[in-house]
């Protein structure tokens, strides 16, 4: 299974509305990343930031405007997708409605060229991987959304790919099924030593399944790292805001170690030469100082929401 390297990868599209610079729009802007084999990676960012375009370039479905892509140091920038041996899963299962599960999974050229017995064995093995080995005769319309997406994953695996590219694979599922399938995808990748690149705009999804998060904004990589690294040490307001919740305070710096917000003097976690800073505070880091008497803390409850456990 390859290590994947992207060097200065850029994609410009001709802008339909034409109001962008020179009639082009830069969907992916000079991206440099490395993906380790056997890891679960998510590309996380808001809608329109270039995630799908980046994934499609890795797959070979989109021609690069600039830059290079390497699999194990081999330049695969211009290699057509069918030679790359990649499994691709889309948001909308894209199964063939007139074919049963067996044929949907066995549709690829690899399996079609197998003798019947070998194909049967192979498909059975893959269906077992996604825990649907008992449904090989079912048609897509007989299956739930979650099952359909597992079949789509099985089909991606049937090209014998150890690299899975998934574009918002859980986006069309209802929350409960999507959450369950998250763990199945993660387990599948770990158990069979696959490598996954999974596009999502859902921060919780990225946080729960990733070894590595690649955070994007307007075509650029903002930060990469494990969920813990990015959550604890976001490198920008955007990264702090997009992964987890955060309160932001605009402060005036008093001296190298202190800043003022309204009447409060706050110790700055990192020394600064700047005059004004934005301090980000995670809600769970807020504690009531033991020296403060509780009856002295005043506030207004504006809204109460019942969530069962809270
Ligand atoms: P995401 O998947 O993060 O939502 P996309 O990669 O789909 O973002 O799109 C990034 C930007 O590129 C958007 O502004 C989108 O409109 C534009 N774009 C994507 N595909 C095309 C295309 N085929 N032609 C023109 N513009 C495109
Ligand atoms: Mg997309």
Instruction: Give this prediction's pTM.
Output: 0.88
157 and 304 both lie in a single domain: no
220 and 293 both lie in a single domain: no
Contact 243, 215 (CB under 8 A): yes
Split into its structural domains, the chain has a count of 2
Residue 188 pLDDT > 60? yes
Average pLDDT rounded to a whole number, residues 152-180: 87
131 and 192 both lie in a single domain: yes
pLDDT score of 17: 66
Place of tokens 């000079």: 30
Ligand nearest to the CA of 56: 1
219 and 273 both lie in a single domain: no
pLDDT score of 19: 58
pLDDT score of 118: 84
pLDDT score of 178: 86
102 and 174 both lie in a single domain: yes
| Closest C-alpha to ligand 1, atom 10 | 50
Q: In percent, how much of the chain has pLDDT > 90?
A: 58
pLDDT score of 91: 79
50 and 165 both lie in a single domain: yes
Give the lowest-confidence range in 138-142, 173-177, 224-228: 173-177
Average pLDDT rounded to a whole number, residues 223-252: 95
Ligand nearest to the CA of 31: 1
225 and 255 both lie in a single domain: no
Q: How far is CA 127 from the centre of its chain?
A: 24
Confidence of residue 309 (pLDDT cuts 50, 70, 90): very high
The residue ranking higher by pLDDT, 275 or 116, is: 275
> From the CA of 165, how far away is ligand 2's center (Å)?
12
Which residues are registered as beta bridge partners of 44? 200, 215
- Helix axis angle, 175-191 relative to 145-157, nearest 10°? 20
The range of the structural domain enclosing residue 192 comes to: 4-241
Confidence of residue 18 (pLDDT cuts 50, 70, 90): low
Residue 259 pLDDT > 70? yes
198 and 127 both lie in a single domain: yes
52 and 200 both lie in a single domain: yes
Ligand 1 binding site (Cβ under 6 Å of any ligand atom)? 13, 25, 27, 45, 47-53
113 and 148 both lie in a single domain: yes
Out of 53, 90, 215, mutate this one to test ligand 1's pocket (max ligand atoms within 8 Å of CB): namely 53
Instruction: Write out pLDDT tens, residues 264-286.
Output: 898 888 888 899 999 999 999 88
Confidence of residue 119 (pLDDT cuts 50, 70, 90): confident
Give the lowest-confidence range in 72-76, 174-178, 228-232: 174-178
CA dist 19 and 3 (Å) reads 38
pLDDT score of 113: 76
The CATH code of the domain that includes 52 is 3.40.50.300
Quote the Cα angle for 57-62-63, to 5°.
95
Boundary-marking domain end, from 241, 257, 292: 241
Q: What is the DSSP letter of 99?
A: S
251 and 131 both lie in a single domain: no
| Closest C-alpha to ligand 1, atom 2 | 52
Boundary-marking domain end, from 204, 219, 241: 241
* Helix extents (H) in 158-236: 175-191, 203-209, 227-232
Q: In percent, how much of the chain has pLDDT > 70?
A: 96
pLDDT score of 70: 96
Boundary-marking domain end, from 192, 212, 241: 241
Average pLDDT rounded to a whole number, residues 151-168: 88
290 and 169 both lie in a single domain: no
Instruction: Write out pLDDT tens, residues 199-217.
Output: 999 999 999 999 999 999 9
Task: Give every CB contact of residue 62 below 8 A, 6+ residues apart in sequence.
Answer: 11, 53, 56
């Amino acid at each position: 299974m390859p290590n994947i390297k992207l060097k200065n990868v850029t994609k410009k599209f001709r802008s339909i509305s034409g109001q962008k610079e020179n009639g082009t729009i830069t969907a992916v802007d000079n991206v440099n990343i490395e993906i380790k084999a056997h890891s679960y990676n998510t590309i996380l960012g808001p809608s329109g930031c270039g995630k799908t375009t980046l994934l499609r370039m890795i797959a070979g479905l989109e021609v690069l405007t600039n830059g290079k892509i390497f699999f194990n140091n081999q330049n695969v920038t211009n290699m057509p997708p069918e030679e790359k041996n990649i499994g691709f899963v889309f948001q909308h299962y894209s199964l063939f409605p007139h074919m049963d599960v067996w044929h949907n999974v066995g549709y690829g050229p690899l399996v079609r060229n197998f003798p019947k017995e070998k194909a049967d064995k192979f498909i059975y093995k893959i269906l077992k991987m996604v825990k649907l080995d008992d449904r090989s005769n079912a048609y897509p319309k007989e299956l739930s959304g979650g099952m359909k997406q597992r079949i789509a994953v099985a089909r991606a695996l049937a090209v014998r790919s150890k690299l899975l590219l998934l574009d918002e694979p859980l986006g069309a599922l209802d929350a409960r099924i999507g959450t369950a399938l998250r763990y199945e995808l993660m387990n599948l990748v770990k158990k069979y030593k696959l490598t996954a690149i999974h596009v999502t705009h859902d921060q919780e999804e990225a946080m729960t399944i990733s070894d590595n998060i690649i955070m994007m904004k307007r075509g650029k990589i903002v930060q990469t790292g494990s969920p813990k690294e990015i959550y604890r040490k976001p490198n920008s307001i955007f990264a702090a805001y997009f992964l987890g919740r955060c309160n932001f305070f605009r402060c005036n710096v008093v001296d190298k170690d202190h800043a003022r917000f309204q009447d409060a003097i706050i110790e700055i976690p990192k020394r600064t030469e700047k005059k004004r800073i934005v301090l980000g505070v995670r809600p769970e880091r807020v504690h009531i100082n033991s020296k403060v008497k509780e009856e002295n803390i005043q506030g207004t409850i504006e809204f109460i929401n019942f969530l069962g456990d809270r």
